[in-house]
Structure 1
């Protein structure tokens, strides 16, 4: 039987909000253990857009997802959190005043509070219903994320989708790919108005081709190497686009996984929390970031950062009962290490 890992706060999720929760708990002298199903820190920033710029992080006019995670990891480093990666939390139980968590790797964590910062829970891409898709996925010809832009240099790329990811990557890849074709079923994109306008301008200059109104219809190749993406209109008119890669951006399917069976108050696959503390309906369990919901909630990383601070302050009395917590600015007290 594996040893029990003792800590003050267990954080589920090593995305940006989870990493900032390590810092906020550390500033209040609370020890943390972080668990994440991915093999690397960063959550969706690492898995979905490591090279994509993020524009709404304070003091960073633009910062790539991977760079944001590196800075957050550096900020949390003084507090020496334990990171248990490549596993997910499956069980929650009580032991007196303590909470016990069990992971898929057999770990047992005993803590005084839990912060769920699991983004939108377990996630996976919505796949297009195309024959032979698994073979092209296995070869990397069909993908649902871009890890490295350089992999598409000189390639013919078809991008399918009408949201921010499709538009952003079309603009990002147009300067390195041999050709970029964007497939969408209607002229209006769901992306931010500014970037949608940039895409229209790029198409007018001949830098990107817009295939509208089309949908994905088929893949042609040897089952691994892609040669052509077949498109079709709702009227059945077909068109073949020569392609080396298909990037399909149809969103993610979200599932909470085992967390959904803990008895938490759920609202459309999200966890309802008290806005002032981020407390859930289970004593000692808190939720922050995209997985948490309350009236007026905005799904922004910066709001998740604020929630991490609120949750840490709400947890402090559980870790240090009877000890008064006097709020101080970090410029006053510094980073309390050692």
Structure 2
């Protein structure tokens, strides 16, 4: 089962008749790494199809932090998650890359040169090789165990990610958590919200030194109020409209924090879902691969991005981009066994789509 944040893009309901497609490479996952893999395959003149459970491309960048700046994308000192996806979409625009979105891939059978994939909508893809770019698999928030939580989620009084910062303008926001997401959004929202409380169970946060220094500055300026050592205890309001967040220490001392929105950042729960049933070697929520080819234990199937694991692996988007290029070149031998692949730089290859 795929778990998504309550207001994340949902799988699209069945509408058109199921499609049947034949291609060289089926790419499972249309996040940033999957999109770049589609570009690399296309530059090698390999046909490819993108498949994803979300009804839009972009993966976690689109669903969880479209307005959050990313600072480690080459040639972009700063780019938002949404901006990155727009740029990747523009990069593959010259190519014909079909998308089967809003439906989960539940079945993968066959062998190298002759795979069959099916999704929950009934679409069928026949592909010669497969690239799994499924991120951490199905993802969803670790939800706090609070009574009546669902009613506040339904109204947006409790949210698990920020899609548009402007939606929090003038609001009283409680950010719960002690990691990077909590710190980053406390800083960002302190620029637009009426008041921001940063709630954590201890007076130590996990973040980059620069982020910690900036948080202390905002606290000193009164733009962020630090509430420690407290944990979420209860939500107060009527008909799903939040008025107060009740926090409590381990010894039972309580505080009521005026709030319009609660943002609990307690990480994501992940699950490989149907991928774990396809005979692939897995380790928890990752797939071990050979880094020289990104090959899994099943010939013709490669894994890239956060789902791939090997010694020295860094879970960075930029490393996922590199893995996409490696997997595309390795998959060429499976898709076109009769052809020799002559490596070309893009400057020699010519304009995309030419």
For 2:294 and 2:151, the matched residues in 1 are separated by 44
Q: How does 1:1-338 map to 2 (within 5 A)?
A: 2-94=18-110, 97-337=113-353
The answer as to whether partners of 2:112 and 2:129 remain within 8 angstroms in 1 is no
For 1:96 and 1:217, the matched residues in 2 are separated by 53
TM-score with structure 2 setting the length: 0.93
Q: Which 5+ residue runs of structure 1 have no aligned equivalent?
A: none
SS of structure 2 residue aligned to 1:7: strand
For 1:255 and 1:20, the matched residues in 2 are separated by 23
Shift of 1:333: 1.6
The answer as to whether partners of 1:31 and 1:79 remain within 8 angstroms in 2 is no
SS of structure 1 residue aligned to 2:243: strand
The answer as to whether partners of 1:14 and 1:34 remain within 8 angstroms in 2 is yes
Q: Which 5+ residue runs of structure 2 have no aligned equivalent?
A: 1-16
Moved over 3 A (4+): none
The answer as to whether partners of 1:132 and 1:223 remain within 8 angstroms in 2 is no
TM-score with structure 1 setting the length: 0.98
The answer as to whether partners of 2:136 and 2:272 remain within 8 angstroms in 1 is yes
The answer as to whether partners of 1:22 and 1:79 remain within 8 angstroms in 2 is no
For 2:104 and 2:320, the matched residues in 1 are separated by 21
Q: Deviations over 1:93-121 (max 9, x none)?
A: 11783000010110010000110001100
Identify the range of structure 1 (91-100 vs 71-80) with the bigger mean alpha-carbon deviation. Answer: 91-100
Shift of 1:322: 2.7
For 1:80 and 1:164, the matched residues in 2 are separated by 38
Identify the range of structure 1 (93-102 vs 297-306) with the bigger mean alpha-carbon deviation. Answer: 93-102
For 1:162 and 1:40, the matched residues in 2 are separated by 30
For 2:248 and 2:21, the matched residues in 1 are separated by 55
For 2:111 and 2:280, the matched residues in 1 are separated by 19
Number of residue-to-residue matches in the alignment: 338
